[in-house]
Chains A and B, each alone.
Chain A
Amino acid sequence: MGEFALLSIIIFFPALGALLLLALRKFVVSDAEGVESEARIAFMTGLFVSAATFFLSLIALAYFQPAQEGFQLVEDFAWFGGQADDAGNIVGGIRYKLGLDGMSLLLVLLTTFLTPLCFLASWGSIKHRVTEYVAAFLFLETLMLGVFCALDMMLFYVFFEAGLIPMFIIIGIWGGAERVYASFKFFLYTLLGSLFMLLAVIAMYLQAGTSDIVELQTVIPQIFAVEDGKFGVQHLLWLAFFASFAVKLPMWPVHTWLPDAHVQAPTAGSVILAGVLLKMGGYGFLRFSLPMFPEASLYFQPMVFAMSVIAIVYASLVAFRQTDMKKLIAYSSVAHMGFVTLGIFSFTETGIQGAIFQMLSHGVISGALFLVVGVIYDRMHTREIAFYGGLVTKMPVYAAVFMLFTMANVGLPGTSGFIGEILTMVGSFQASSWAAAGAALGVIFSAVYMLTLYRRTVFGVMTNEKLDGIKDLTRTEAIVFAPLIIATIVLGVFPALIFDITETSVAPILAAFSGLIG
């Protein structure tokens, strides 16, 4: 039992802020100049609430004991079903149970870290329906935090699916010209994936009588034990979960929603999408697939490896040919998430630790890259690479920031991008040198597409006269980038900060496999 329900406060604080904002908007002047003041009040509120949430999650970090195994800051209440035991406490059933281990703590921090930056970044660029925009982001934050904190499968499912809705709305209302197609594709893909998961969740609940994730992790492998390596129910359940997580991540070949969603989403939407939402897939693998279905995970390892390597090579090559900056970075995200699945399914400590690190690092780097694109999109309202060129002459600070994140995305050692890539590859080499060799090709291609992008936009001579008046980073933009730059370099130079926290959450996952791999 959490003494003061810290996690609930963290999770629902943004939603509370959103509700207050929506409820009180009537009292804000709504005359002609009111639109502007409404926008300012909305952004101020959003910034304040999300910053406070970040602060709260830092308190959680302070309370967290990295060396202690198991979940911490646990809150556990009966919700539906379950039976009363002798003492009168309800056990089993569906519960409202929250808790953190190292992995989820860091994902919570990533979420609360990126959200305030999103508000800062949208300040100048979102001009209509600002109150709703801010509220949607705050709701989204609550749901994302819920996903990472939930220790009950049903609760997880509710947060996991509900997270779709605000993102759907953000793309659908504040998106680009083809936002309807994109948001629909996004919704369709992810919802279809999730239906399979819902079926599996119900089946598991019926059999186990509990939806407590911690209990399920010990109970499910026994209930659905695999006999003599034969294809059985565990494999079906694995596939059902896989359908949902693979779409979310996204893995090849169910990745095509991502480029469309990114291109149409407003900048901050892309940041959250790439930064946090994609990580739910990787998180799901580590929380459900591996501990609950170890034999099936091992069984499907070659398939996942193949899909990961294809994702890395294929998406990198496609990225190389893009003419739209955001699409390029979206495909680059697909490639980088390939390293995550590769590491997770290596079932080695280096691989899984690397995968978690890669998720965090990619959250920061790809978020930053979408912001980098957003900066010039706000000025010129086009993402066409060919439109730009020679920006360095007018925007030297911007050029330096862009260079840093280009190199981070390329996985240059010293940035956080390197650590995740090398560890996941080292891990996968233990399982398959083919997979590692295929993934290492991505190291070449990422340099090709990122440096080409950089050269075409930033270097060269400025020939497009529309760019003549383009201004360098504003103070606000610089403030947005500063924490991302610090995070990229600090994590690249002192990654032990992360590994010390994740170590104890990886150990039990590996324990499930210790008997399975020689």
Chain B
Amino acid sequence: MILPEPLILFIVLAPGLVAAIAGCFQRFIGDKVAMIITTATVGTAGVLSLFQLFGYAFGGHHGDGHHHFQHVIHLARWIDVGQFQANWAIRVDAMSIVMMAVITSVSGLVHLYSWGYMSDDPHRARFFAYLSLFTFAMLMLVTGDNLIQIFFGWEGVGLASYLLIGFWFHKDSANSASIKAFVTNRVGDFGLALGIMAVFFVFGTVELEPMLEAIKENTFEHVAPIMAFAEGVGPREAAIEFLGMRLYALEVIGFLLFIGAMGKSAQFFLHVWLPDAMEGPTPVSALIHAATMVTAGVYLVCLLSPVYEFAPVASGFIAFIGAITALYAATVGMAQNDIKRVIAYSTCSQLGYMFFAAGIGAYQAAMFHLFTHAFFKALLFLGAGSVIHGMHHEQDMRKMGGVAPYMKITYAAMLIGTIAIIGLGVPHTQFGFAGFFSKDAIIETAFAAGIKGVSFAQMAFWFGIIAALLTSFYSWRLIYMTFHGPMAEADHHDDHHEEDEHAGHAADGHHDHGGKPHESPIVMLVPLIVLSIGAVFAGFFFYDSFVGHHQADFWSGAIYAASDNTVLADKYDHHHGGINPGWVFYAPLVVTIIGFLIATFTYLFNRGLGARIAAKGGPLHSMFANKWYFDELYQATFVNGTKKLGDFFWKVGDKKIIDGLGPDGLSGLARWGAARLSAMHTGYLYHYAFVILGAAAVFGAVILINVTGAN
């Protein structure tokens, strides 16, 4: 069912080890060795993790179905102060098995892909070291058995993301983007850190098992003497004092931790860093900013399902933010022309789906979409990278077009990715691409939860439906603009903006700049093919395990549903024990086809119509194209506000008030002293100081002798 301990240790720790070797000793081992050891290690870990996932899902029952099935490997002591215990550990349960498979398999493929994509970059060893470092941090995140190790991984992936977004450090835009990503994530971490503190305050521990058990068993009044609540009251009613208010403890914790999740998973308000993160090399976008890191927030919420099951307000907030993000990002995605930014907003939107699923209590569906999304979104990004590579680092879709004949495999892979993300499939059957199974599961659960009256579930359903239409539209728009129609003007390299250049390009001056688009090398195509298989079959294979009839056995207590949460069973129609009306199952398909038709009409049959609509503009288009002006708003408020406040504290607070009234206010004295000192600073100062010391000592001694004599 699960792998033997040494293999699990290998999966989690070996990427960290090779990252350290490739990073610290790159000068001695050279690029090739660094690339070989990192790729081989992570690739092996990927194979092992996938093997484990299949073995776990199809290898029989786990535990008794009531207790959380998990295996914890203790590695070492970490923080051990009183009750505050956080040790290095690897937790293997359904949640981490799924995540390990996603992380290492996508990461292994991205490592391989980077052999081609980064082939002319002078800093390849550093790049591969960062990739492996990321993989290690992400694995530590998903296998932690306490919130502090999760925080370690959380910030570790943030570091790797920062380093990789800013990988081409000579680019100003890349530097800005990397700082923006790190700082925005830190805003989220502010909430996460406070949430962890609140957890310790309430539960007296930061370890997951005792904390979550206390909620499930409703025993946490024993560990939290600070709140005496009446007997027979559930965990929902436990209250704490927070910022002067008396609030429900689990709501506070749930809300604070979700702020962390919002930052990492680029949810509305804290999403601004993700599109800019596309400054990083494309393999990075595929691994970190699509398949794995940005899903950490979803993972966290699902991992802490017991908290959210008893925090209806916080859950409602999650559903609300998730639904808004799903729709918001889709609207912006329609109006972008940079191929990577379209996919970035698409990621943002899909993460919104995952969150509203978690917010309405369908954690399994959220995890399922996380799982399938990883494959098809990594596929789309790597496909886009293949196009960018083939087009000599052109990213503007307006300058592409008609490349399908030159890049047949890439084109096929992108088509598969697109069909997977729009979720094409036949309702009530097992025929469909990965997205069909997971996205429709989310939409169906949302409707069922809406019937049951779960907060924001109805809104989530409708937003999800509209976003599905937009998803279909912008995904096909991407395909048509990139692969179909006539080639754009041949001189597209001459006027491409500076930010499209990168180090490898600059270093490799004799690279064939002109010429036609070319298909990418085999090392880049193999990952596309493997991910295509995932994008087609991941949903079909795992539907029953994740959200279908075997879900209780599959999750084995790793995800908790309160007794009144039956949303997974409700999502079926009346014939299958659910409560959904029949049309709900066809709604996603219908809107997907509508989106497809509109895109086909505007971007394939009437090529240029889309561009004309964009040129005409109108307020709605400008709003979408300018991402609803979030960057401008944040620049005007937070960024400038921080600068002004900093200047004020410095120039008024420190200089005028504190120094003005303090030391400089005694300027007469100071000047007198300074004059003395400068007169003496030829070396006599030294003696002078000893005179002071001597005098002080004598003086002190006299006083003390008198004092003690008096006694």
Residue ranges of A at the interface with B (Cβ–Cβ < 8 Å): 80-82, 93-94, 129, 132, 154, 158, 161-162, 165, 168-169, 172-173, 180-181, 183-185, 188-189, 202, 205-206, 209, 253-254, 256-257, 314, 317-322, 349-350, 353-354, 390, 392-393, 407, 412-414, 418-419, 422-423, 425-426, 429-430, 433-434, 436-437, 440-441, 443-445, 447-448, 451-452, 455, 458-461, 493-496, 499
Residues in B neighbouring A205, C-beta threshold 8 A? 707
Most buried by A among B79, B159, B183: B79
A433 shortest CB reach to chain B, Å: 5
Q: Which of A154, A443, A461 contacts B190 (CB 8 A)?
A: A443
5 further interface pairs, Cβ-Cβ under 8 Å (given A81-B705, A447-B183, A499-B79) = A93-B708, A349-B81, A414-B156, A460-B172, A496-B79
Residues in B neighbouring A81, C-beta threshold 8 A? 704-705, 707-709, 711
Residue ranges of B at the interface with A (Cβ–Cβ < 8 Å): 76-84, 148, 151-152, 154-156, 159, 162, 166, 169-170, 172, 175, 178-179, 182-183, 186-187, 189-190, 193-194, 196-198, 200-201, 241-244, 642-643, 645-647, 649-650, 653-654, 658-659, 662-663, 666, 669-670, 673-674, 677-678, 681, 683, 685-686, 689-690, 692-693, 696-697, 700-701, 703-705, 707-709, 711
User: Does A162 lie within 8 Å of B693, measured CB to CB?
Assistant: yes
User: Does A436 lie within 8 Å of B183, measured CB to CB?
Assistant: no
A108, B709: Cα distance in complex, Å: 35
A479, B122: Cα distance in complex, Å: 28
A353, B666: Cα distance in complex, Å: 39
A284, B283: Cα distance in complex, Å: 53
Query: With A423-B84, A441-B190, A451-B182 given, is the CB distance from A165 to B693 under 8 Å?
Result: yes
Most buried by A among B178, B182, B243, B663: B663
Q: What are 18 A-B pairs with beta-carbon distances under 8 A?
A: A81-B707, A161-B696, A188-B666, A188-B670, A317-B645, A317-B649, A318-B646, A318-B650, A349-B84, A350-B84, A418-B152, A433-B242, A433-B243, A441-B190, A444-B186, A444-B189, A460-B169, A460-B170
Residues in A neighbouring B243, C-beta threshold 8 A? 433-434, 437
Q: Which of B80, B166, B201, B666 contacts A459 (CB 8 A)?
A: B166
Query: With A321-B643, A407-B159 given, is the CB distance from A434 to B175 under 8 Å?
Result: no
User: Does B193 lie within 8 Å of A422, measured CB to CB?
Assistant: yes
Q: Which of B159, B170, B172, B707 contacts A412 (CB 8 A)?
A: B159
User: Does B179 lie within 8 Å of A455, measured CB to CB?
Assistant: yes
Query: With A413-B152, A495-B78 given, is the CB distance from A455 to B175 under 8 Å?
Result: yes
User: Does A256 lie within 8 Å of B663, measured CB to CB?
Assistant: yes
Q: Which of A168, A256, A434, A494 contacts B689 (CB 8 A)?
A: A168
User: Does B175 lie within 8 Å of A460, measured CB to CB?
Assistant: yes
A321, B669: Cα distance in complex, Å: 31
Residues in B neighbouring A440, C-beta threshold 8 A? 190, 193-194
Most buried by A among B80, B81, B154: B81
Query: With A80-B704, A425-B193, A459-B169 given, is the CB distance from A413 to B649 under 8 Å?
Result: no
**Main SS of chain A's interface residues?**
helix
A443, B244: Cα distance in complex, Å: 22
A322, B148: Cα distance in complex, Å: 33
User: Does B649 lie within 8 Å of A314, measured CB to CB?
Assistant: yes
Q: Which A-chain residue is minimally distant from B252 (CB atoms)?
A: A433
A499, B84: Cα distance in complex, Å: 12
Residues in A neighbouring B707, C-beta threshold 8 A? 81, 202, 205-206
Residues in A neighbouring B186, C-beta threshold 8 A? 443-444, 447
Residues in A neighbouring B659, C-beta threshold 8 A? 256
Most buried by A among B178, B243, B678, B704: B704
Residues in A neighbouring B197, C-beta threshold 8 A? 425-426, 429, 433, 436
User: Does B689 lie within 8 Å of A321, measured CB to CB?
Assistant: no
B161 shortest CB reach to chain A, Å: 13
Residues in B neighbouring A353, C-beta threshold 8 A? 81-82
Query: With A188-B663, A412-B159, A451-B183 given, is the CB distance from A180 to B79 under 8 Å?
Result: no
Q: Which of B148, B162, B643 contacts A413 (CB 8 A)?
A: B148
A327 shortest CB reach to chain B, Å: 9
Query: With A81-B708, A433-B242, A443-B190 given, is the CB distance from A494 to B81 under 8 Å?
Result: no
Query: With A181-B674, A444-B183 given, is the CB distance from A493 to B200 under 8 Å?
Result: no
Residues in B neighbouring A447, C-beta threshold 8 A? 182-183, 186
User: Does B708 lie within 8 Å of A321, measured CB to CB?
Assistant: no
Q: Which A-chain residue is minimally distant from B678 (CB atoms)?
A: A180
User: Does A413 lie within 8 Å of B155, measured CB to CB?
Assistant: yes
Q: Which B-chain residue is minimally distant from A252 (CB atoms)?
A: B658
User: Does B79 lie within 8 Å of A132, measured CB to CB?
Assistant: no
Residues in B neighbouring A445, C-beta threshold 8 A? 642
Q: Which of B677, B696, B704 contacts A172 (CB 8 A)?
A: B677
A261, B80: Cα distance in complex, Å: 37
